[in-house]
Amino acid sequence: MIRFLRSLGGQSLDRIASLGRATVMWVTALWGLPRAGDISLLLRQIYNVGVLSLIIIVLSAFSIGAVLALQFHTQLSRFGAEDIVGLGLALVLLRELGPVVTGLLFAGRAGSAITAEIGLMKTTEQLSSMEMMGVDPLRRIVAPRLWAGIISMPLLTAIFNVVAIYGGMVVAVEWLGGDPGGFWAGMQDTVELWDDVGKGMLKSVAFAVVVTWIAVFQGYDTLPTAEGIGLATTRTVVVSSVMVLAMDFLLTLSMYGDFN
């Protein structure tokens, strides 16, 4: 019994300690970047996490937009309200699905890659040898990845939203024969620049911070074994997906909570 309690306490302390390490790492790394020589490192990471995620983002966006339009259209046409399809599609995408699905895909595609990469660097002691050479791995390895995530996610979200709305338009207007005027006008009448587009982008920045933070820290803090890397990669995807969904609820509550 005593031993159980002791291990419980030990584990909690471990968690709190790793949160502390993660926070210190995050702050030091974010402070570390703004220097001219690091631009090429940042570019390479934006390429890795942003450009390479583009295909999966575009494909998922198109299918999600198409399927949303299909569902909206079949349900709304029973009330003769097909004109609301465009509006519903835009609001759902801009406010919720755009940032959230991009966040989840980003965690799966870019987050896991970051963790595995940094984990392997740690396992093969590249990070320690960098320190030996007087190169700060936080600045050289961690900071560019954090910044690349924060820069790429809002752009990916915007692209996701546009492609999804296009996909929805293809289904609702071109295929099911909806009225293009109603589709666009319903959207433009109701969608607000800040309330819908802006707050959605804000969400995506928040998700980017959390996902890249978790991914980088899990890699940096991994057990230096093959098994450890696998565990850390899994943990990145699981923890950041759950965090994205949980944070989305909290953000929605605080952004749209007064419902007026």
Partner 1 sequence: MHMRTIEISVGAFVLAGVLALIFLAVKVSGVSLTRDAGTYTVLARFDDVAGLRQRAKVSMAGVTIGRVAEIDVDMEYGEAIVRLEIDGQVGGLTADTGAQILTEGILGARYVNLLPGADEEVLADGDYIMDTQGALVLENLIGDLVTRLGAS
CB of 18 to partner 1, least distance (A): 33
Instruction: Return d(Cα 60, Cα 54) in angstroms, integer.
Output: 10
Contact present, 63 and 54 (Cβ < 8 Å) = no
Q: Which is nearer to partner 1, 130 or 151 (CB)?
A: 151
Nearest to 105 by CA among 35, 46, 52: 52
Contact string (CB under 8 A) for partner 1, positions 147-186, x = contact: ----xx-xxx-xx-xx--x------------------x--
Contact string (CB under 8 A) for partner 1, positions 88-127, x = contact: --x---x---------------------------------
Q: Which of 30, 54, 130, 209 binds partner 1 (CB under 8 A)?
A: 54
DSSP string, 31-72: HH--SGGGHHHHHHHHHHHTGGGHHHHHHHHHHHHHHHHHHH
DSSP-based three-state secondary structure for 2: helix
Question: 137 is written with which tokens?
Answer: 């791995």
The reply to whether 189 sits near partner 1 by the rule CB under 8 A is: yes
Q: Which is nearer to partner 1, 52 or 130 (CB)?
A: 52
Q: Which is nearer to partner 1, 189 or 227 (CB)?
A: 189
Nearest to 101 by CA among 51, 152, 153: 153
Determine how many CB atoms are found less than 10 A away from the CB of residue 116.
19
Residue 134 CA to chain centroid, in angstroms?
33
Q: Which of 32, 33, 50, 167 binds partner 1 (CB under 8 A)?
A: 50
From 100-108, 195-203, 208-216, 221-229, give the range in contact with partner 1 by CB under 8 A: 195-203
Contact present, 173 and 72 (Cβ < 8 Å) = no
The reply to whether 190 sits near partner 1 by the rule CB under 8 A is: yes
Q: Which of 22, 67, 70, 81 binds partner 1 (CB under 8 A)?
A: 81
Residues contacting partner 1: total by CB under 8 A: 35
Binders of partner 1 in range 222-251 (CB under 8 A): none
The reply to whether 6 sits near partner 1 by the rule CB under 8 A is: no
Binders of partner 1 in range 8-47 (CB under 8 A): 40, 43-44, 46-47
Q: Which is nearer to partner 1, 100 or 237 (CB)?
A: 100
Residues 6+ apart with CB under 8 A from 161: 61, 93, 94, 98, 200
Q: Which of 34, 37, 80, 177 binds partner 1 (CB under 8 A)?
A: 80
The conformational region for residue 134 under phi > 0 = left, psi -120 to 50 = alpha, else beta, is left
Question: 72 is written with which tokens?
Answer: 């909206």
Q: Which helix (H) or strand (E) holds 122?
A: helix 112-123
Residues at the interface with partner 1 (CB under 8 A): 40, 43-44, 46-47, 50-51, 54, 79-81, 84, 90, 94, 151-152, 154-156, 158-159, 161-162, 165, 184, 187-193, 196-197, 201
